[in-house]
Amino acid sequence: MASVKTVKFIKSAVNPKDYPPPHFPEIAIVGRSNVGKSSLINAIFKRNIAKVSASPGKTRLINFFLLNDRIYFVDLPGYGYAKVSKAEREKWRRMIETYFKVRENLSLVIMLVDSRHQPTRLDIMMKQWLESLDIPYVVVATKADKLNQSEKAKAVKTIRKVLNLPENIPVFLTSSKEKTGIKELMGYIFNKISE
């Protein structure tokens, strides 16, 4: 398995004209606000490159990172944060939708859900949206360090059932705190990219 050698923050963007050139395969990370997106990105990159905030809804731009000079990782704004205005939420939705529709080098979406709770209506909508756009995706259940062994097995089962996941879509249980599941996720991503 390839490992994380170099990571560079490339740029933040809102509009497609500002995205970096699509020279490399791209992995996008999407999930509800407060699901642990920035923490997961930092665990993947093994450094604090994404800003972790105590208050959700801080990612308001699309942030591009370059891994090993050959894969873009893209941090998309979190969805479903109630404390921002409806207009702001609509702006984020349009931003994500545009990105999904125009980014021709998008290879995979990592969809985050909180392992401690069953997926929400918004999570179900995101999964259906990805399928309707024919975008390959995997599901990553975060904060698994908060669960015991039997709860972990139950969480995966619940996530699969509520999201109605096809059998070929993996669910990775991860903990950014304990760094569990990260190696398996990255192994899957590197394999996907080299197919």
**How many CA atoms within 13 Å lie on the side-chain side of 24?**
18
User: Which domains, from first to last, does the chain contain?
Assistant: 7-194 (3.40.50.300)
Q: How do residues 23-42 score in pLDDT, each as one tens digit?
A: 999 999 999 888 988 899 99
Residues 96/110, Cβ–Cβ less than 8 Å: no
Round to whole Å and give the CA distance between 157 and 160.
5
- Report, as ranges of residue numbers, the positions in the chain whose pLDDT lies below 70: 1-2, 51-59, 81-84
pLDDT attached to residue 134 = 95
- In the block, residue with structure tokens 């905030």: 53
